[in-house]
Amino acid sequence: MRAATSATSRTRRRGGVPAPVSALVVGLLAGLVLAGCSGLPESGPVVDGGARSTVDEEQASDINAVPPTPGMTPSAVVNGFLDSLYASPIRLDVAKQYLTPAAATAWDPEDGTITYLDRQQPRETQLSVSVQLVDAEHLDRYGGYDDNLAGGDLRFDLELEDGEYRIDNPPDALVVPRGWFTQRFRTASLYFFDPSGRILVPQPVYVPRGKELPATLVRRLVESTGRSSLTGLVQSYFPPGLDGQVQVSIADGVADIDLGGEATEISKAASERLLAQLAWTLRQQSGVRAIQVTLGGAAVLAPDGDERYDVSEADRYGPNGPAPSTDLFAVRDHRLQRRDGNELKAVPGVFGNGDVPISTATPNIDGARAAAVAVGRRDLLVADLVRPADSDEPDGEPPAKPDVVLTGTSLLTPAWDFADRVWVVDRTKAGAVVHLVVDGRDRVVEVAGVSGLDVRSFLVSRDGTRFVAVVRGANRDELRVGRVEADGVGDVVRVRSTRVIDVDPGTSLRIDDIAWTSPTTLAVLSPLGPDRIYGVRQIGVDGSPSSAESLPTPVVGPVIGLAGSPITTLPLYVVTKDNLVDLTDGGSYGFVGSPATSVDYAG
């Protein structure tokens, strides 16, 4: 990896991409775009002995790159260069012919990817040509979405070489149309651990489709170890010093992975987590059931001492928790109830028996406890739904009284993370205050872009690394996501500055509710107009516009909200006064008896 100082100095010397772009646009295609390559090269041989997903078997059409011809104008040279970048299979030797010799040597297209919906005709000023990209976005060198390209304007400086115009400052990125990109790349995740090493955290990326997918995923995972931008957010158990020259082969459902490197002694705990990272990352390749890993020529052993590690052994570290509840819960008649077929039945304990009337409640991830907001929305209460093993309560009953852990002004529905931390937002007259309750002790967490503003709803990822909030504005609502930083024992340090996710750019968007649909995707419920018709959009938690899609079933309001879970096998529901509308199949389901005032999954 090139040092940041040398990259910056080279960018300043050559000009080209505006400074904010060159700082943010770093490469997606490391190892894939060497000069003169005739296709998507691989980090190592991949022999796929099992089934591949349909999406990975799709073959994009070939596109030929056209070299420059004599007498081209500066604008024609720039257009020719940009056209040559989306040759398929990828080859960059032709693109280099549009550059000066010095620029061709220094150009690093592995250092970034810019995608765009359309590009305007070049604007030419003497030996400078500007090109406006429409709806441009950029990805980092590991395939992760960075941000929209501010302004979308690329500037090219040209020089005369043997009487022909050539570009002197190409952007260090592969610049390609969005349609070209989506045909050839797909979303995936690299899996890291939280800072305490207790739960896996997915990092969304875009990777090439096809047989090179496993090697690309492993290489990206190895190369991401030690990234400064991830410090305090996640950790990796790969030893430092690996160069990413991995070898991957797959046969009979077993992925054989050679990480290279030198002989390194790592602890049993680190070995298990390294294997878990690889297992969750590679299980995205259909048909992979087990992995065998070699590091420095020696096998990385599973906890049982076997060289083969079944990917299901890593389930205990999964991003949804080791034993997540799949139950649907509701508050009806100020009591917490659990769905049983088309009925709602009271949960055991104080929240179900009506002794303490509640407005809303959320069970923790395994469904053993719940955090509830009392009627009046001032008190946050916590109580067990099942009797703990060391409880003194008779006959298996949960405690008769809940713990009052926080008194506020107007509390929103609380959220839990995997460490049994309770998050809640208090909507005070001075704006939102974010509270974090750990072992019954409350603290205020400052969240830039959220604290002090009008927050309508919020979520926390189960792995505890992402905080999501809907902030109401005068003309439109903002969906904001911030990363949660923690120390090595898992204590929350801070929430980093939030960024806005453009759910529907250019509209006066209102957001009535949000819900998880996977560990890395969100559903957003919005009114489609004044006639009480609602629609649901799904978008990646990284905010990439390429990840956005509309779910097919419009719903007639009024609606209460969404009921969604990061467990992808569970349905996503729009909750109305009388029904649950399943957005998977369009079916509508009601409950026997009086209507519920809130419905949701655990967490």
pLDDT in tens, 395-410: 556 767 899 999 999 9
Token look-up 């917490």 returns 336
Sequence-separated (6 or more) residues with CB below 8 Å from residue 2:
108, 111
Whole-number pLDDT of residue 399: 67
Q: What pLDDT, on the 0 to 100 scale, is given for residue 116? A: 93
Both structure tokens of 128: 């400078």
Domains and CATH numbers, the chain: 4-183 (no CATH), 190-317 (no CATH), 328-601 (2.120.10.30)
Residue with more model confidence, 435 or 112: 435
| Tens digit of each residue's pLDDT (9 = 90 or more) over 331-360 | 999 999 999 988 999 999 999 999 999 999
pLDDT at 54: 33
Mean per-residue pLDDT, 484-496: 94
The answer, yes or no, to whether residue 17 has pLDDT greater than 80, is no
Res. 230: pLDDT tops 90: no
The 10s digit of each residue's pLDDT in 181-224 is 989 899 999 999 999 999 999 999 999 888 889 999 999 999 88
Distance of CA 132 to the CA centre of its chain: 28
Judge whether residue 528 has pLDDT over 90. Answer: no
* Tokens representing residue 244 in the block: 């990413």
Asked if pLDDT for residue 393 goes beyond 60, the answer is: no
Residue 389 pLDDT level (bands cut at 50, 70, 90): low
Q: What is the DSSP string of 251-313?
A: ETTEEEEE--S------HHHHHHHHHHHHHHHTTSTT--EEEEEETTEE---TTS-SEEEGGG
- Position 5 pLDDT exceeds 60: no
Which pLDDT score is estimated for 388? 59
- Residue 396's pLDDT is 59
Q: How far apart are CA 85 and CA 67, in angstroms?
A: 11
Is residue 478 classed as helix, strand or coil in its secondary structure?
strand
Phi/psi for 355 (5° steps) reads -65, -30
Tens of pLDDT, residue by residue over 531-568, are 789 999 999 999 887 677 887 678 888 899 999 999 99
Residue 547: predicted pLDDT? 76
Closest among 16, 181, 166 to 95, alpha carbons compared: 166
573 pLDDT exceeds 90?
yes
The mean pLDDT of 378-388, rounded to a whole number, is 88
Given a cut of 90, whether residue 150 has pLDDT beyond it is no
pLDDT of residue 46: 29
pLDDT over 70 (residue 378):
yes
pLDDT at 569 over 70: yes
What is the model's pTM?
A: 0.85
First vs last C-alpha separation in the chain? 39
d(CA 253, CA 249): 10
C-alpha 237/C-alpha 335 separation (Å) is 45
Short-list 414, 543, 434, CA closest to 480? 543
- According to DSSP, residue 33 is labeled -
- Concatenated DSSP letters of 122-191: PEEETTEEEEEEET-EEE-TTS-EEEE-STTEEEEEEEEETTEEEES---SSEEEEHHHHHHHEEEEEEE
